[in-house]
Structure 1
Amino acid sequence: MTIVLGLTGSIGMGKSTVAAMFADEGVPVFDADAEVHKLQGPGGRLVAAIEAAFPDTTGADGVDRTALGEAVFGKPEAFKRLEGIVHPAVAEERQRFLAANRDRALVVLDVPLLFEAGGWRGVDKIAVVSAPAQVQRARVLARPGMTAARFESILARQMPDAEKRERADFVIPTGGSLDETREVVRTVIACLARAEGG
């Protein structure tokens, strides 16, 4: 039986780096964000639906993320409408991924809003990626186009890091070196392999 590990963490915690470490160790990873990019990219199957709901937010390259962000930013109703388009499509892709990897001992679902969107109910174990608040803030504010106000708004929509850590089966710290983080990832894989074997 496959163990499904939900991997999550607030913005700027290093989740993508940790997901890549699991992949490097041979564990299949489903990246929900990458899936959204594909669905909204050039020729993506959600582009027409998003254009219909939010006119002038798409073009030849698919969804214009800046324009779409402005169309839904600070507008709960619009944001909910967008989620209604995106979430079911991502769920379908996730089911395809799980079916394709049902013979594997361990798979990772990399889901940013695992707790907030209720995805934690569909996994066997949860790993939370976490770094000190000042490290997180510095990482996020270094991103192109990011402002302190936007960062605060994103944080407000996410469950606090402390609460995520409390609900996790594993906490993967990313405030130190990459080697230290990789060591924890390997330990998590070993623990889950033992659980599967036992």
Structure 2
Amino acid sequence: MMILGLTGSIGMGKSTTAKMFADLGVPVNDADAVVHSLYQGEAVGPIEAKFPGATRDGVVDRAELSRQLSENPALFPALEAIVHPLVRGKENDFLKFHRAAGAPLVVLDIPLLFETNAEARVDAVAVVTCDPEIQRERVMKRPGMTEEKFALILSRQVPDQEKRAKADYIIDTSGELDSTRAQVAVIVQTLTSQKGP
């Protein structure tokens, strides 16, 4: 089974691209979705213990957690120490299930793939990218996004240029969706027929 790591900086179109892999029948493990479910389950207790007031009604209050992290970015490692092992556990369950099911290819959608050295866990890496102007435009449309928040997020991500240099595949989402779909289809075809990048 080939494991493709999918990553890209904020606003590059990674989630849309991941859905295109899924539409072609490729199982996708979405780290953001996993975190979302953990924030309603296993991660709630440990996060409340470390970040008092960051949960409400038994779920993590993302806005409050984000506020605490913005005020004190030094707390990011404490959050990662709680969340990353839980995410890895879910990822391992996903891989075990699809390996047993005989899937030829799976995608691990990992936002901070290079930042967490996750490339060691995949067979190939696809980086989703677009023009910086398009990226900024997409990100600033998000609810609650500010220039400061955008700058903080970017400061914690490996620069796009560096990601592209390390990638086995680059998916450019600057153009039409059909162009992105075509790029995804070529990668799926390559990885399922040759069993390698």
TM-score range normalised by the length of the shorter chain: over 0.9
SS at the partner of 1:128? strand
Unpaired runs of 5+ in structure 1?
Answer: none
Unaligned runs of 5+ in 2: none
Deviations 1:53-82 (A, max 9, x none): 111111126100010011122534311111
User: What TM-score results when the alignment is normalised by the length of structure 1?
Assistant: 0.95
Q: How does 1:34-73 map to 2 (within 5 A)?
A: 34-41=33-40, 44-60=41-57, 62-73=59-70
8 Å CA contact 1:8–1:114 kept in 2: the answer is: yes
- Classify 1:17/1:61 alpha carbon distance in 2 versus 1 (closer, same or farther; 3 Å): farther
Find the counterpart in structure 2 of residue 100 from structure 1: 97
Asked if the contact 2:13–2:128 (Cα under 8 Å) also holds between the matched residues in 1, the reply is yes
Write the distance in 1 (CA, Å) between the matches of 2:73 and 2:136.
24
Per-residue CA deviation, residues 84-125 of structure 1 (Å, 9 max, x unaligned), is 000000000000000000021100000000000111110000
Distance in 1, Cα, partners of 2:73 & 2:148:
17
Q: 2:44, 2:58 within 8 Å by CA — same for their partners in 1?
A: no
CA deviations 1:22-58 (Å, max 9, x no partner) are: 00000000000100000002xx111011111111111
- Which residue of the partner structure matches residue 3 of structure 2? 4
Matched residue pairs, number?
195
Which is worse superposed, 123-132 or 149-158?
A: 149-158
* 1:1-38 Cα distance to aligned partner (Å, 9 max, x none): x0000000000000000000000000000000100000
Backbone CA RMSD of aligned residues? 1.4
Q: Structure 2 matches for 1:33-182, cutoff 5 A?
A: 33-41=32-40, 44-60=41-57, 62-73=59-70, 75-102=72-99, 103-182=102-181
Write the distance in 2 (CA, Å) between the matches of 1:61 and 1:145.
23
Partner-residue secondary structure (3-state), 1:101: helix
Cα distance in 1 between the residues matched to 2:91 and 2:21: 17
Q: TM-score, normalised by structure 2?
A: 0.96
Q: Percent identity?
A: 51
> Does the CA-based 8 Å contact 1:73-1:79 persist in structure 2?
no
Counterpart contact for 1:4–1:107, Cα < 8 Å: yes
